[in-house]
């Protein structure tokens, strides 16, 4: 595959030449389902304020479900960050794989992914949940890719992984809304992943955004990453009316469900 890279832009991109800021560890995240005590209730009103056993049980179940949904979303994000972090670590340590002109980009992206991994592990621990162990990865996807012997394939998978991460974070937004602190941090990570995706896409001479179903100059093996991206209907509005289907679909990124993101990640897990 012939890959054109926009090397001349790298020296002008401040985002990829400045040191990444450390994400602060969350140490004070409130537990879900915790009932506030009712104090100083006037005599005679206690029965009106009391919570019945059935209501208490319902509150506990709801709180546990919220926490489970939240931590499941974070565990999925952690798997994806483990995958990206290890991928770039191996790529940077493979002699003569990444051209010198491109190393600054991937060194910076690698720092970001490492910070994301540490943040997610710390957050899960703060929520009283043990972070999942890093899986054993097979970046050849059972022999379908050779990313560490062919730089063009390294870029292909880098694009696929970053595009997957962007869509997956968006897809889990609703599952972390129960904790505003985590939601804010997840959105901050999402935007950085989007910057990664755009940069890697441009390095492959693609546009920074996704057009139609295919991610742009990508092998069919990566089609699951872009499934649904040809959607032109948003909240009942046909986005192709003014500018056509290509522009209409490109103007809106689609989400990946948790199960779809897990399916994609599992292709690279032993």
Which superfamily is assigned to 63-208+255-267 in CATH?
Ferritin, core subunit, four-helix bundle (1.20.1260.10)
The model's pTM: 0.74
Show me where the domains of the chain are located: 63-208+255-267
Q: Which among 189, 226, 234, 231 is positioned nearest to 206, based on CA atoms?
A: 226
Which tens digits make up the pLDDT trace of 41-53? Answer: 333 333 333 344 4
Over the chain, what is the mean pLDDT? Answer: 79
Which tens digits make up the pLDDT trace of 172-204? Answer: 988 898 889 899 989 999 999 999 999 999 999
Type and span of the H or E element at 158: helix 151-171
pLDDT at 53: 40
* Contact criterion met (CB below 8 Å) for 108 and 16: yes
Q: Which two tokens stand for residue 189?
A: 């990570």
Which tens digits make up the pLDDT trace of 21-80? Answer: 433 333 333 333 333 333 333 333 333 333 444 443 333 434 455 567 899 999 999 999
Report percent pLDDT > 70 for the chain. Answer: 73
Q: How many CA atoms lie within 13 A of 89 on its CB side?
A: 12
């Amino acid at each position: 595959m012939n890959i054109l890279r926009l090397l001349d832009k790298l020296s002008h991109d401040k985002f990829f030449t400045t040191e990444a800021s450390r994400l602060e560890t969350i140490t004070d995240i409130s537990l879900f389902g915790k009932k506030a005590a009712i104090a100083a209730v006037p005599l005679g009103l206690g029965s009106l304020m009391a919570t019945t056993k059935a209501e208490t049980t319902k509150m506990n179940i709801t709180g546990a479900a919220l926490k489970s949904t939240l931590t499941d979303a974070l565990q999925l994000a952690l798997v994806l960050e483990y995958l990206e972090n290890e991928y770039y670590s191996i790529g940077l340590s493979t002699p003569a794989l990444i051209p010198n002109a491109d190393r600054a980009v991937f060194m910076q992206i690698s720092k970001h992914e490492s910070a994301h991994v540490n943040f997610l592990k710390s957050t899960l621990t703060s929520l009283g949940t043990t972070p999942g162990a890093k899986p054993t990865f097979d970046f050849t996807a059972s022999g379908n890719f050779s990313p560490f012997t062919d730089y063009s394939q390294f870029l292909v998978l880098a694009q696929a992984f970053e595009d997957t991460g962007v869509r997956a974070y968006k897809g889990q937004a609703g599952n972390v809304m129960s904790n505003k602190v985590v939601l804010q941090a997840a959105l901050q990570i999402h935007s950085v992943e989007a910057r990664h995706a755009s940069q890697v896409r441009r390095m492959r001479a693609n546009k920074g955004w996704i057009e139609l179903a295919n991610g742009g100059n990508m092998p069919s093996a990566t089609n699951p990453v872009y499934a649904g991206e040809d959607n032109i209907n948003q909240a009942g509005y046909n986005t192709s009316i003014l500018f056509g289907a290509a522009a209409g679909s490109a103007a809106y990124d689609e989400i990946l469900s948790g199960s779809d993101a897990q399916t994609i990640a599992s292709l690279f897990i032993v």
